[in-house]
Amino acid sequence: MASRFQGRLREAYNAMSERVVDLMQGERGVRQSLDNALMKAREWVMAARELTHEEADDLATTLRREVDELSQTLVAAEEEFEDWVETDLLFAEHRAVECMLLAADPTTRDLMRLKEMWAEQMAQLLHAGDVVDAGAYECVGCGELQHFEGGENALLACPICKGEVYRRLRSAVM
């Protein structure tokens, strides 16, 4: 897993993940396959972060494996997808999931469903400034909670990490 990387390698890994997603989403109008994007991101991260060939290979191999593992997990446990997304997805994992969804064969019906569910999940995220009902709202960035007892409250930027993205907790009655 990515968590085995520490310090500068961890940062390089996250930067490479972002780079892969950017490339696959069609930077400058050209969409790239996962393999192409990985290859380019590997070269880019090696230069930008002054990594050795071995380090860059290690990051690229790990990212590829994570995307493959996520893909298998999702296909095998499609019905659990919604819960899984709501539990403890970190941003790095978000990016890996995005990679996987972008790489998926768009004609595969099951994966189309996953894409829809993913889009639904993302659409359910709330942002600072949104007016919300009573309940508990969790900062996606750090897990800090905001509680509201009455109706009509505006979510504030997270006091801990300044994050502005929240999700409503299911157990809203506290």
Handedness of CA 119, 122, 123, 124 (dihedral sign): positive
Q: Which residues pair with 136 in a beta bridge?
A: 147
Q: Is 160 in the site for Zn ion (CB under 5 A)?
A: yes
Q: Is 48 in the site for Zn ion (CB under 5 A)?
A: no
Q: Exactly one of 86, 132, 153, 163 binds Zn ion (CB under 5 A); which one? A: 163
User: Of 16-24, 40-48, 123-131, 132-140, which segment contacts Zn ion by CB under 5 A?
Assistant: 132-140
98, 119 contact by CB (below 8 A): no
135, 173 contact by CB (below 8 A): yes
Handedness of CA 86, 91, 96, 102 (dihedral sign): positive
Q: Is 161 in the site for Zn ion (CB under 5 A)?
A: yes
User: Of 32-40, 81-89, 122-130, 135-143, which segment contacts Zn ion by CB under 5 A?
Assistant: 135-143
Of the two residues 13 and 166, which places its CB atom closer to Zn ion in the complex? 166
Pick the closest to residue 55 from 13, 97, 15, 18 (CA basis). Answer: 13
Q: Exactly one of 125, 142, 145, 174 binds Zn ion (CB under 5 A); which one? A: 142
Of the two residues 58 and 144, which places its CB atom closer to Zn ion in the complex? 144
Of the two residues 142 and 174, which places its CB atom closer to Zn ion in the complex? 142
Of the two residues 9 and 158, which places its CB atom closer to Zn ion in the complex? 158
Tokens of 26: 């069609």
Ranges within 62-121 binding Zn ion (CB under 5 A): none
- 131's enclosing H/E stretch is strand 131-132
146, 136 contact by CB (below 8 A): yes
Q: Exactly one of 39, 126, 141, 146 binds Zn ion (CB under 5 A); which one? A: 141
What 3-state class would DSSP assign to 66? helix
User: Of 21-29, 34-42, 52-60, 141-149, which segment contacts Zn ion by CB under 5 A?
Assistant: 141-149
Query: Can you give the binding site for Zn ion, defined by CB under 5 A?
Result: 139, 141-142, 144, 158, 160-161, 163
